[in-house]
Amino acid sequence: MKDCGTAILWGNLAPRGAVIKQSAASPHLLCHRGRAVVFDGYDDLLKRVNDPNLNVDANSVLVLKGAGPKGGPGMPEWGDVPIPEKLLKAGVKDIVRVSDARMSGTSFGTVALHIAPEAAVGGPLAIVENGDQIELDVPNRRLELLLPEADLKRRLTAWRPPLPHYQRGYGKMYLNHILQADEGCDFDFLRAVSK
In a domain, 186, yes or no: no
**Is-catalytic flag, 104?**
yes
Burial of residue 158 (number of CB atoms within 10 Å: 0-12, 13-18, 19+): exposed
In a domain, 193, yes or no: no
In a domain, 18, yes or no: yes
In a domain, 148, yes or no: yes
d(CA 139, CA 9): 9
pLDDT bin (cut points 50, 70, 90) of residue 194 is: confident
Domain limits for position 140: 7-158
How many structural domains is the chain composed of?
1
In a domain, 124, yes or no: yes
Q: Look at residue 2 in the predicted model and tell me its pLDDT.
A: 56
d(CA 36, CA 58): 11
In a domain, 172, yes or no: no
Report the predicted TM-score, pTM, of the whole model to 2 decimal places: 0.94
In a domain, 179, yes or no: no
In a domain, 81, yes or no: yes
Per-residue pLDDT of 47-97, as tens digits, reads 999 999 999 999 999 999 999 999 999 999 999 999 999 999 999 999 999
Which CATH number goes with the domain that contains 36? 3.50.30.80
Which entry of 60, 99, 104, 107 is annotated as an active-site residue?
Answer: 104
